[in-house]
Amino acid sequence: MPKGIYIRTDTFLAYLDGYDKNKNVILEYDSKYHNRPNQKKADLIRQQKIIDVLNPKVFWRYDSVNDEFTDVYRSDHNLVNQTSTIER
């Protein structure tokens, strides 16, 4: 059995960077590798499958290159794609 946070169906397996099962909140951490065009497309497909399986309350992506959070999904607003820069 794989270790870590993952979801599995008969046709899909995904490891999650962060998941709070009690609050049903997902966080994905994107390094510079995720800025490649083919990877961005794959990430969006994977993201939608994760949303379909878990139906999270919130799904966030963190872009470590630009130091930004994107609020990509909220169950009460669906796809919102709001980006916030981290103030330090």
**Residue ranges of domains in the chain:** 6-85
- Rounded mean pLDDT, 48-65: 95
Q: Taking a C-beta distance cutoff of 8 angstroms, is the pair 45, 51 a contact? A: no
pLDDT of residue 79: 52
42 has pLDDT over 50: yes
First to last CA, the chain: 40
Model pTM score:
0.81
pLDDT of residue 88: 57
Higher pLDDT: 77 or 75? It is: 75
The residues that bridge with 70 in the sheet, in sequence order, are 61, 83
Distance CA 32, CA 40 (A): 11
77 has pLDDT over 50: yes
